Structure 1
Amino acid sequence: MYKEMQKQKSLLELTHLLVEKDHSWVESKKKMDGTISLVPSHDRGEEEEETRSIHKYTPLLMATSTGIAQIVEKVLQLHPQAAEAHDIDNQQNILHIAIKHRRLQIFKLVKKSKSLTLRMAMKNDRDGNTILHQAAYMRYYSANTQRVGGPALQLQEELRWMVRVEKIMPPHYITHHNHKGLTAEELFNSEHAKLLQSAQEWMKGTAQSCSTVAALVATVVYAAAYTAPGGYDSNGLPLLRDSAFFVTFAITNTVSLISSLASLVTFLSILTSPFEYQDFYRSLPFRLHLGFTLLFFSLVTNVLKGMPKRA
């Protein structure tokens, strides 16, 4: 652990030194706003083409696209003006790149400065795409980047990205059309059509399977309600009615029955949903998690119910 801590400390020191001496962002910023660089340039004429051919992105943009938030934060601390840099070929700034690569940590880092965020949000790339169009594209989408499982939850995370970006967009930019004549919403719908279909099938299959399990649990629990532990006396009353175990059995059996029926109703409500994009943003995932919770609670109480009986 000590060696690892020393390595991390050395890496942070090296990163600080490299970032402090790196001024590769100056060229792209100057070409964007036409300002004169205050950073000295050595042999710029013969090195410009060579530098451009080696790296398409500057280190800042490369760190943004790969999600290395520590380097991005360090660059912005030492060179705040570097935030205005952009990819020369595509005319995309770090906010564009963070959004299209789904780098949430860097997105939050940039969003801390409201004035900077507003300026960057008003920039369009070479194809006329706003930052909301970048959130709609799936070109750089990766389920591993999102770290969520299941097509339905992946689609929910994509919808969340649209909402996150829309909150920092100027209102009149939301309906902006790119050079292909598409708004961000239209682009999102076309880009995510296959994911929507997969999410619909996954959600339906999961809800059907879980509703079957919930129905079986409800059937077993309902039948158990007529079988009191210890049997009945000649008057038809439970022999253990005054026992604490019987009270526990009655309570857990009732709770299990209610939970299983509620779970069944929840999963059936999912199956009757229209399965549109807006349903996957909050409604369907919430009902799915609620159904799982109720079903799990029903199974747990059903097990607890059987313990006094076996005892």
Structure 2
Amino acid sequence: MDPKLFDAAAEGNIEPFKELRAPHVELQQIVTQILKDTILHINIKSQKKGMVSTEFMTQILEMCPSLLLQVNAEGDAPLHVAAKCGHSTIVQLLIQRAKTEEEEIDLESGLKPEWEILKMTNNENNTALHEAVRQGSDDVVKILTEKGDPDFHHSANNLGETPLYLAAARGYDRMVIQILESCTTAAHEGPNGKTALHEAAIMCASVEKILEKKKSLTKVTDQHGWTPLHYAAYYGTPDADTDTVGLLLKCDRSTAYIGDKDRRMTPLHMAASQGNLEAINSIISNCPECYELEDDRGWNVLHFAMLSLDEVRLERLLKSSLIRSLKNKKDAKGNTPFHIGAAVHRGGLCFLVNEFGDWKAVNNENVSVLDIIKYGYSELEKEIQELSKDVGKGNQYPNGVIRNRKETKIEDESAEDEKETRASHLVVATLIATVTFAAAFTFPGGYNSEKGPNQGTAILGGNSAFQAFIITDTIAMTLSLSAVFIHLFLSFKGIHKEFMFNSLLVIALYLTMFAMGTMVIAFITGTYAVLAPSLGLAITTCFIGLIFFLLVFFVLRIIFKSEKDDI
């Protein structure tokens, strides 16, 4: 293509094309060397959103109507390009031109010409609707569906994707609704046996609308044997999965009993494996009989929950009498759920074993729950680690067969980070001990220098505020030194039993925090003792010091709220 003609087409300048002798012939032959784009393709691609002009295209199509259907090397007609670019005004024009140019365009089907142009596919077997959905243009999708044949199937492209599937996979609610309402027989298929409902379940969007039109999709399984309910349970989040799971179960409860092909895992197992407590409760409340189903290893819902839930949520789950009845159920290797829990939680599970479990329950290797808590169980721990990294034969478990709570919360933090954290705690505790020790021998108000039995004693020894200063300063020093001692103790080799190690770290942290609080009180009482004659200044100083506790209150409130939301 002549560069001047290319620039003219990109700029929308019609004059150079009017000067050609036989426009109805030569305009079709003016194409780019590689993509074989016509001047119509070039003009559409060059337009900017919000600044679209259709004047050039209108005049060109009057000069050469056949350009409306001429495709480039990728099989894209001008309508495909307009849909890819999201130019709704141009899409509207091209469809209108197809309708008005019925005599000039050779269409053999006998259907409406605008329907025919909408059915054209490119080399990827995409219609303009496929491209519009990929682009994410609601306006273009609306035009294409309302102007098209309502009985057109909108079949899959070369990748097995239909427009409805693409919209659901991207979470485009409005597009899904638009396609379902305008296209009465819209296809729903996707690659690998998936349907639009599978993707909607993953995205937690459009599920209700798809179920209204295509209720039968609840039972459709993909190549891995996963129903939409499997996907909702596996991928769901605490905020969204209950609604999605509930909608699917309300439509068809029988899907709760379907196991996948690889491991015979039901949706309940999926929810438990990923720690989705809300989904677990929703499935059990709707289909109580499925609670006792097992996978191919003999694991039930409680085996999975022991891995993915923390102690607090496990306790909530065990309040259910149905779940509690599974506490002594053994898998193929004889492991009860508490064997699994002991391998992950170790000492943190003790109070749950006391209340719900059996310390002495043994597996096929004669290993008890208590043995695992005390000494660990490398064989079971290795199996759990492998499951957390196993993504399946076809990558159907991208987050692992199970979500190991221990790995996500403990192993994700490197040993180097742990050392740095402990070092910073030790520095703070040591600093508090040093400051409070020095303060004890630098009394507020000074010492009595007069000779006699009281020489060298504190001048403010009888002052109540001073006495409070001495007591709180001593408490702060004692607490901080205790924290320093614990950190020193933990530095010895051999102190690596997880429960003891973590418990001592928590104790040291609390000691340091309380030491900080008493040190602030010591500062407040000490300054008050010295500034008592200037009462206003003394009160102001005390008020400023107390701001520390206000800050602590807000920080702790944020932390507790965050933990509550996680639960």
State if a TM-score over 0.5 links the two structures: yes
Q: 1:196 to 1:92 in 2, by over 3 A?
A: same
TM-score relative to the length of structure 2: 0.36
- Find the aligned partners of 2:502 and 2:331 in 1 and give their Cα distance: 29
- Of the structure 1 ranges 297-306 and 194-203, higher mean CA displacement relative to structure 2 is found in 194-203
Counterpart in 1 of 2:76? none
Q: 1:15 to 1:114 in 2, by over 3 A?
A: closer
Q: 1:189 to 1:72 in 2, by over 3 A?
A: closer
- Given the alignment, which residue of 172, 175, 183 partners 2:333? 175
- Residue 24 in structure 1 maps to residue 217 in structure 2: yes
- Residue 221 in structure 1 maps to residue 436 in structure 2: yes
- Residue 300 in structure 1 maps to residue 473 in structure 2: no
- Given the alignment, which residue of 446, 459, 483 partners 1:239? 459
- TM-superposed CA distance for 1:173, in Å, is 1.1
- Residue 59 in structure 1 maps to residue 59 in structure 2: no
Give the secondary structure class of the aligned counterpart of 2:444. Answer: coil
Counterpart in 1 of 2:82? none
- TM-superposed CA distance for 1:231, in Å, is 0.7
- Find the aligned partners of 2:487 and 2:332 in 1 and give their Cα distance: 35
CA contact (8 A) 1:253 1:301 kept: yes
Equivalent residues in 2 for 1:129-208, closer than 5 Å: 130=299, 168=326, 170-173=328-331, 175=333, 184-188=380-384, 196=411, 200-208=415-423
- TM-superposed CA distance for 1:76, in Å, is 3.1
Query: Taking every aligned residue pair, what percent have the same amino acid on both sides?
Result: 24
Residue identity opposite 1:254 in structure 2: T
Q: 1:66 to 1:201 in 2, by over 3 A?
A: same
Residue identity opposite 1:223 in structure 2: A
- 1:22-75 Cα shifts (integer Å, max 9, x gaps): 3434456xxxxxxxxxxxxxxxxxxxxxxx47x963221121122122211333
- TM-superposed CA distance for 1:271, in Å, is 3.5
- Given the alignment, which residue of 476, 481, 484 partners 1:261? 481
Q: 1:305 to 1:136 in 2, by over 3 A?
A: closer
CA contact (8 A) 2:226 2:260 kept: yes
Q: 1:236 to 1:118 in 2, by over 3 A?
A: same
- Given the alignment, which residue of 76, 80, 89 partners 2:249? 76
- TM-superposed CA distance for 1:307, in Å, is 2.8
Counterpart in 1 of 2:260? 87
CA contact (8 A) 2:257 2:266 kept: yes
- Find the aligned partners of 1:224 and 1:298 in 2 and give their Cα distance: 14
Q: 1:197 to 1:100 in 2, by over 3 A?
A: closer
Give the secondary structure class of the aligned counterpart of 1:87. Answer: coil
Give the secondary structure class of the aligned counterpart of 2:333. Answer: coil
- Find the aligned partners of 1:84 and 1:206 in 2 and give their Cα distance: 47
- TM-superposed CA distance for 1:263, in Å, is 2.0
- Find the aligned partners of 1:209 and 1:89 in 2 and give their Cα distance: 47
- TM-superposed CA distance for 1:93, in Å, is 0.7
- Given the alignment, which residue of 194, 200, 209 partners 2:424? 209
- Residue 104 in structure 1 maps to residue 277 in structure 2: yes
- TM-superposed CA distance for 1:185, in Å, is 3.5
- Find the aligned partners of 1:174 and 1:265 in 2 and give their Cα distance: 47
Higher RCO (C-alpha under 8 Å, 6+ residues apart): 1
Q: 1:118 to 1:69 in 2, by over 3 A?
A: closer
Residue identity opposite 1:84 in structure 2: Y
CA contact (8 A) 1:118 1:169 kept: no
Q: 1:116 to 1:271 in 2, by over 3 A?
A: farther
Residue identity opposite 1:241 in structure 2: G
Q: 1:207 to 1:90 in 2, by over 3 A?
A: same
CA contact (8 A) 2:218 2:252 kept: no
- Of the structure 1 ranges 88-97 and 264-273, higher mean CA displacement relative to structure 2 is found in 264-273
Q: 1:174 to 1:307 in 2, by over 3 A?
A: farther
CA contact (8 A) 2:298 2:330 kept: no
Residue identity opposite 2:496 in structure 1: F
- TM-superposed CA distance for 1:96, in Å, is 2.4
CA contact (8 A) 2:233 2:279 kept: yes
Residue identity opposite 1:22 in structure 2: K
Residue identity opposite 1:62 in structure 2: Y
Aligned residues: 250
- Given the alignment, which residue of 285, 291, 294 partners 2:508? 291
Give the secondary structure class of the aligned counterpart of 1:92. Answer: coil
CA RMSD of aligned residues (A): 4.5
- Residue 275 in structure 1 maps to residue 496 in structure 2: yes
CA contact (8 A) 2:426 2:484 kept: yes
Q: 1:93 to 1:246 in 2, by over 3 A?
A: same
- Find the aligned partners of 1:170 and 1:56 in 2 and give their Cα distance: 29
- 1:242-274 Cα shifts (integer Å, max 9, x gaps): 223202211220221122123223334443464
CA contact (8 A) 1:207 1:270 kept: no
Counterpart in 2 of 1:31? none
CA contact (8 A) 2:253 2:287 kept: no
Residue identity opposite 1:99 in structure 2: A
- Find the aligned partners of 1:303 and 1:200 in 2 and give their Cα distance: 33
Gaps of 5+ in 2: 1-173, 175-203, 336-377, 389-403, 532-567
TM-score relative to the length of structure 1: 0.61
Counterpart in 2 of 1:36? none
- Find the aligned partners of 1:22 and 1:58 in 2 and give their Cα distance: 13
- Find the aligned partners of 2:415 and 2:439 in 1 and give their Cα distance: 36
Residue identity opposite 1:293 in structure 2: Y
